[in-house]
Amino acid sequence: MTVFQYPKTKHRRQLSPRQFKRYQSYKRYLQAEFSRVCVYCRQPDSSAPNLNFGVDHYRPKSIPRFANLVCDYDNLYYCCGSCNSRKNNDWPLDEKLGPYVVNPCDHEMAAHLRFNSKTGKVEARTPYGKHTEELLQLNDDALVQYRLGTLTTVRLLTAEIEQQELQLKAVAKQLKANLITQAEYAAEEQAINDDLTSLRYTLQALKGEVPLSSLRKTRLGITLIK
């Protein structure tokens, strides 16, 4: 079960979108780049239809010396509205001392933050991790309960899918033994497969595994991805 877990290795950016005038234009690329999860709290954007996700400027756009990075793809991250709002314009006064909010491109995040699936909490492992956990309120009570509820639902869905798959095999055996007709088998198979489709989609949504549509490489003759 990988939901909410922090990556153990640094992320190497896979996409190279063209230079846009508005940083909001990068959102769709960042969603694909970071597998549709908030880079800070690891919540999938597919777990609820009304989640507010956006573009985070790691080096804050409100700081004048970072003005040239407003539309720099390497400075942009995909994150939920809560983390974006809480991170705001955070930046260390002394860049040598930090602390920094950890991100998946500059840091091995699992070395700084660990998700405990038993408690639903994010455990800080370093000063950078502690700063990130406190600033972004990663252990807010409502968020912890949400994570625990999601993990419980994932387990129940997984068990139900396994049960439905066993039922499908059992119906096939009944047909082979001539205990049911072909028509009865077809109806039962369709009903089970319909349930499985729904269950699998819900499970994918909770885990952030719903496939994204392909990114357009060109538009009106303009190259969008290098």
User: For residue range 138-196, what is the model confidence (pLDDT) as tens digits?
Assistant: 999 999 999 999 999 999 999 999 999 999 999 999 999 999 999 999 999 999 999 99
Cα–Cα distance, 152 to 177 (Å, whole number)? 38
> Based on C-alpha coordinates, what's the Rg of the chain?
22
Query: Where in the chain are the domains?
Result: 23-138, 144-207
pTM here is 0.90
For residue 220, the model assigns a pLDDT of 47
pLDDT tens figures, 50-107: 679 999 999 999 999 999 999 999 999 999 999 999 999 999 999 999 999 999 999 9
Q: How far is CA 41 from the centre of its chain?
A: 9
Main-chain phi, psi angles of 38, to 5 degrees: -65, 125
Spatial distance between the Cα atoms of 199 and 205, rounded to a whole number of angstroms: 10
Token pair for residue 124?
């800080």
